[in-house]
Amino acid sequence: MTQIQTVVSFLYYLLVAYVVVLLVWNFVRSRKWDEEILYLIVLLPFLLRLFRLK
């Protein structure tokens, strides 16, 4: 069970990585400055988790 749980945790990191890709993609495509800032603010917690900092 502990090993399966490790796999589940890993899937969560994959999910976060996917969301990071989507956020970055949308940030790059965005044309509005306020939207760009918001994408970066939203991106911050996902990156901190992805890099296992928080």
Partner 1 sequence: MKLRKLVFAVFGLLLLTTSGTSFYRSRHLEEAVVLSPGVSEVKKLGDYFEGIRGTVNDCNIYIMEGEEPGGTVFVMGGTHPEEPAARLAAWILAENAVMEAGRLIVVLSSNRSASLVTRVGGAYPPDFSIPTDWGERTFRLGDRWADPLDQWPDPEVYIHYPSGQFLAFVDIRNLNRTWPGRPDGSLTERTTHAFMELIRQEKVDLFIDLHEAELQYPVISTIVAHDRGEELAAFTSMMLSDMEFNMGMEYSPPSLHGLSHREVGDHSDAVSLLFEAPEPFLDATRGKTTREQLLTGKDEFVVKAGKAGLLFEKMDENGWPVDVRVGRHTSAVLMTMETWSELNPDRPLRCRGVPRYDEIIALGLGHWLHDPSAAPPERVEIE
Partner 2 sequence: MFVYAGLVLGVMVAVYIVAKLFKLSTELSMFAAALGGALAGGFGLPPRHIAEGAMTYLDINLIFITATLFMNILKESGGVAFSVRGILKRFHRSRTLLVILLTVLLLLPGALTGAGSVTVLITGGMVAVVLQTMGVSRARTAAIVFIIAGLSAAAPPVSLWAMMTAAGVNMPYVGFFWPLLLPCVFLSLITIFLLGWKGGEIDLEKALAELPRPPEGMGWGKVFIPLLVFGALIFMGRQWPHDTPILGLPLMFSCAAATSFFLSPVKLDFLKISRETIKQLLPLIGTLTCVGVLVQIMTLTGVRGLLAVTVVTLPVALVFATLFLVLPISEAVLMWGAAPVLGVPLILLFNNIGLDPIVALAGMSVIWPLGDALPPTAIIGRLTVDVVGYRENYARFLKACIVPALIIMAVGTLMVVYSARLSFLTGL
Note the residues at the interface with partner 2 (CB under 8 A).
1, 4-5, 8, 11-12, 15-16, 18-19, 22-23, 25-26, 34-35, 37-39, 41-42, 44-46, 48-49, 54
Site string for partner 1, 15-54 (x = CB under 8 A): ------------xx--x-x--xx--x--xx--xxx-xxxx
Q: Which residues contact 36 (CB under 8 A, 6 or more apart)?
A: 27, 30
CA neighbor of 23 nearest in space, from 45, 39, 35, 46: 39
CB of 51 closer than 8 Å to CB of 16: no
Q: Which residues bind partner 1 (CB under 8 A)?
A: 1-2, 5, 8-9, 12, 27-28, 31, 33, 36-37, 40, 43-44, 47-49, 51-54
